[in-house]
Amino acid sequence: MHFRRLEDAELSNTTAVVRVDFNVPRRENGSISDDTRIDAAIPTIKFLREAGAKVVLLSHFGRPKGEPKPELSLSFLIPVLRQKLGEDISFSDGINATDLNAPITLVENTRFHAGETKGDEDLARQWAALGDIYVQDAFSASHRDHVSSAGLAKFLPAFAGLAMERELDHLAQALENPKQPVLGVVGGAKVSTKIDLLSNLVTKLDMLAIGGGMANTFLAAQGFDVGKSLCEHDLAGTAKDIMKAAADSGCQILLPIDVVAATDFAANAPHRVCGLDQVAAHEMILDAGPETVEGLLDAIDRARTLIWNGPLGAFEITPFDTSTVEAAQYAGKRVKNNGLIAVAGGGDTVAALKHAGAADNFTFISTAGGAFLEWMEGKALPGVEILRGDLS
């Protein structure tokens, strides 16, 4: 994928307005419980500073709904950023950064302004006046047509930051220009939340394994009794349409051929492995069975590229995490030993792969959530589209 990178920009003696994602989780005492998003922004900030640019940082935090709310101020990040960057950080609580002589300025929560989420051009002009170039480094916000995520590109030349660059390169490697065969693993609770995703993937992949609760909907559509399992029976027609589209595109759908059934949704609940036609009316399917897992591992062996979204079973409770853990660990080994390209992201995916102890072995794991899913659905992301093409 071609897009404008920082290496294409003239950075010396400029001020870069950088969209970062500092929407970090906080504990009740105010401390940050996970600083992954902050760490992701540090390389871009350092790159700009080393190239001779000043930096103005824009980020949202929480959902203030267009009104200043002290509890959602970004000021708590100042000491954290000073420690991580080793430079003085100024803080501007208004639109006009008052101390642009400082090397780095953090501007107050972008969503304190009602115009932010509406793409207001007057607000875009005011923020654009803070710098000379715009750097989009928050892929996680790139699916929003907000001022700070895309609108600034109307008034400043736009470039991808290093975190954005890494994300786009890996996604292109997985879906736009992949090594084939390509295997998709899609799990989760409901088909209804992933219709667009499944419909797009079956036109692009060689194999698609469907697991989790959504697999039950496909099984029911094929006439199997899934008992008390989570199942969207009203989407049987949709499931059939997706399977037909897959057949027309030459994409092999991999559904469970055996399952783990239990009577209670609880850790270590009594359970049994059974065939698809053996699920009792009072039972629920909570995981894929061992034969299904073996089939998935065989598919991973055949694949050269793997795209993973969502858990395969009730991974939060043992032993119904077995299929997710075994498949994720095997994929991780294939990455290390056989050169498999494995890209994952969206929803509970990160938690599931961390639970399996396989996250560090994947080629790339996106923490972007909604933006990752919309990319995989084939949708154009406003914060990515502004980076395409040459500057006129």
Q: Is 378 exposed, middle or buried (0-12, 13-18, 19+ CB in 10 A)?
A: middle
Question: Whole-prediction pTM value?
Answer: 0.88
- The model's pLDDT over 97-142, given as tens digits with 9 standing for 90+, comes to 555 678 999 999 999 999 999 999 999 999 999 999 999 999 999 9
DSSP 174: I
Q: Which of 4, 37, 194, 334 is catalytic?
A: 37
DSSP 361: G
Tokens coding 56: 């103005």
- Residues 322 and 287 sit within 8 Å (Cβ to Cβ): yes
Q: Where in the chain is the domain with CATH 3.40.50.1260?
A: 6-165, 178-376
Please indicate whether residue 115 is annotated as part of the active site.
no
Question: Which of the four pLDDT bands, split at 50, 70 and 90, describes residue 184?
Answer: very high
Q: Which of 131, 332, 346, 347 is catalytic?
A: 347
Q: Where are the alpha helices (DSSP H) in the chain?
A: 36-50, 78-85, 121-128, 162-171, 195-201, 213-221, 236-249, 290-302, 322-338, 349-355, 370-376, 382-385
In degrees rounded to 5, what are phi and psi of residue 187?
Answer: -125, -170
Element (H, E) at 116: none
Residue-level pLDDT at 93: 83
- The model's pLDDT over 309-357, given as tens digits with 9 standing for 90+, comes to 999 999 999 999 999 999 999 999 999 999 999 999 986 898 899 999 9
- The model's pLDDT over 218-232, given as tens digits with 9 standing for 90+, comes to 999 999 999 999 999
Please indicate whether residue 190 is annotated as part of the active site.
yes
Sheet holding 364-366, edge to edge: 252-254, 207-210, 182-186, 305-309, 341-345, 364-366
| Nearest-angstrom CA–CA distance, 164 and 134 | 13
Complete DSSP assignment for 29-48:
TS-BS--HHHHHHHHHHHHH
Q: Which of 190, 272, 304, 379 is catalytic?
A: 190
Please indicate whether residue 37 is annotated as part of the active site.
yes
- What single letter denotes the amino acid at residue 109? N
Task: Provide mean pLDDT across the span 180-199.
Answer: 94
For β-strands 341-345 and 284-288, DSSP reports them as: unpaired
- The mean predicted confidence, pLDDT, of the chain is 94
Give the length of the chain.
392
- The model's pLDDT over 243-273, given as tens digits with 9 standing for 90+, comes to 999 999 999 999 999 999 999 999 999 999 9
- Residues 93 and 78 sit within 8 Å (Cβ to Cβ): no
Tokens coding 118: 């509406």
62 contacts: CB under 8 Å, gap ≥ 6:
23, 69, 72, 109, 111
Among the four given CATH numbers 3.40.50.1260, 3.40.47.10, 3.40.50.2300, 3.30.365.10, the one describing domain 178-376 = 3.40.50.1260
Q: Which of 62, 115, 227, 370 is catalytic?
A: 370
Among the four given CATH numbers 3.40.1260.10, 3.20.20.70, 3.40.50.1260, 3.40.50.300, the one describing domain 6-165 = 3.40.50.1260
Cα separation of the two ends of the chain: 19
